[in-house]
Structure 1
Amino acid sequence: MIDLHYWPTPNGKKVSIFLEETGTPYRLVPVNIGRGDQFKPDYLKLNPNHRMPAIVDHEPADGGGPLSVFESGAILFYLAEKTGKFWPQDLRGKYEVTQWVIWQMANQGPKLGEAGHFRRLGDREGDQSYAVRRFTDEANRLYGVLNMRLRDRRYLAGEEFTIADIVIYPWTVNWQAQGQDIAEFKHFKRWFEEVGARPGVQRGLAVGADLGTDNSKLSEEEQARIRKILYNQRALPVPD
């Protein structure tokens, strides 16, 4: 059994999609990031970076005690290896997939996250026009990378659906909030629609749909409190 420590964000949905696609049994453990659950001591034992998701495998392949893994890319590598699904192990196929998972973690996720952040921020912290332009343009470049890649293949790593597609897809669902028009990227749009039509992907996206909070319905004071938790963090003190 896998424990999935989760909140319904793109990074969390990478893992729920994989688990639903493969039919892997799991137990959902909510980590309310707006409440600060990610900073609780018990959770920090699983993820010292105080982010989610994290998993705990109660039946690891080595037969030892429960094994925890954090970082969504590492989690997908682990689960794909454990289940033998969505990650080919021949030399060329393996690294065709691996490089796109790393690309997502190093490029797509951080840059699309910044695009969404600064576009949502408005003028609460002063003039953000440069940041909005910088990250919206970078988001456009990254969609162009995907579009170019998908011009001559069905999926990111070839003709088979893999964890490369799983890790990238959730970050593209909110393309409008990132200031993009996917009609500009016809090869990407074809892939986006095909992946989004998969029943396992749809089930994975729906996981935790009842957990999220509509911040627009909260008071300004409560919104400010949540923003402080999510966006104004500094180093945690080392315990004595």
Structure 2
Amino acid sequence: MHFQKGLEHAKNKEYVQAIEAFSKAIEENAQDAAAFYNRGLARYKQSEYKLAIDDFNVANRISPDNADILSDRAVAKHMNGQSRAAISDFDKAVVLEPENPYRYSSRAFIKAHTGDVFGAIKDYEKAIELDPEDSIAHNNMGLLQERIGLKKDAEKNFKRADELNADIDSNYQKPDVNQILEDYKKQQEQEKKEKEQLEVYAKQKVEVKTLPKNTKFKPAEYAGVLKEVFTKKEIFREFLSFIFNGFKLK
């Protein structure tokens, strides 16, 4: 009962209520891996990465051969600044599901972020071998090939990505994976400054009739988008639009 309510709340993006419901389900059954896993997902959505990892750890102990738990824990670890530990989880997920292309492309993304360009390319090659129509893998491998000077190979992958996404302007500028992460960090710093400024106004009891010029009403939800990129190739168009709009969701 509590577990189903948790799923309903999560589906409606009511993550606080979802966490409460899954917690009650755990009180009823402390060996319910699904309850821990789903509470971890809800906490991830709340940007509570450390708590999400704690839940995924318990779920993994109860159900050690579940590749989804390992993959989602890996994403949470990456968002918590533990990228190398994330790769270890993806390694285990690959062993459990060697025919799942998204396990390789997910690991490739993290490898690229840690500087292992050749390892990332190898994973993207495997992902494309398993799913030749994965436009994300083609695009990202092209970015890495371009970085190491393999321009002809890169152009082939960019062209293939464009063909698979015919409704996207083929002349768009390909975003660099590491630049995406760096730009996001800069934006977060700016948003933190703006938030602090608003808090100062509030403490001084100053009536703020207009927000500061650069205040963003909808800050970039990088964590959510990143997780979607790891799991759903259908999100590719939205992901590119997200990047080109300066990390602002419409």
TM-score, length of structure 1 as denominator length:
0.28
Determine which structure has the larger strand proportion and give its number.
1
Determine which structure has the larger helix proportion and give its number.
2
Q: Which has the higher contact order (CA 8 A, sep 6+)?
A: 1
TM-score, length of structure 2 as denominator length:
0.27
